[in-house]
Homo-oligomer: A and B are copies of this chain.
Amino acid sequence: MTQPDARNRRRQSLQIRRARKNDRPAIWQIFRAVVATGDTYVFDPKISRAKALTYWLSPEARCYVAVSDQELVGTYILKQNQPGLGSHVANAGFMVAPSAQGRGVGRAMAKHCLQEATRLGYRAMQFNFVVATNKTALRLWEDLGFKIVGRLPGAFRHAQDGFVDVYVMYRRLNRVV
């Protein structure tokens, strides 16, 4: 167990900012490592660098990075979940470098993301694809006020467990976190 003091020091040193062009190599390293296990994200574990970065750095999404001691330890994207008459609901995706997991990086990015989404005028945030076996994510989203509003039977082809369920999670944004 990391002591609370150590955790706080680490969190205090965490800076979250918009991604820049020269973050691309580090974002790809994180993306590749996170999807490689095939147990939490829908992306093909063998996705190419080009496809991954085209998706993550799409002009329709805002991309952020979390930096600790000048090292990029996480990244997230924030975008509309739907166009037009559904564009008041945000969607987001989060990735933490495997070497930085368990340090609160995901939680810090999620709080930052909820604040950004609120600031940008979104009325709610929706996650379309939370794999039911991903207990860490489920706990975090529930901690942050998300509710399970849907269950998709067998919608994820888990690398180890085969077809597992997926949750749709939702949270209104009527206050700053």
Contact = CB atoms under 8 A, between A and B. Distances in A.
B152 A168 contact: yes
A111 B81 CA distance: 28
Interface class of chain A by DSSP: strand
Contact of A44 (B38, B83, B158, B168): B83
A128 B88 CA distance: 16
Interface residues of A, number: 36
Given A152-B168, A155-B170, 7 more contacts: A44-B84, A82-B129, A82-B155, A85-B158, A86-B155, A89-B152, A168-B168
Interface of A: 38, 41-45, 47, 81-86, 88-89, 123-124, 126, 128-129, 149-159, 163, 166, 168, 170, 172
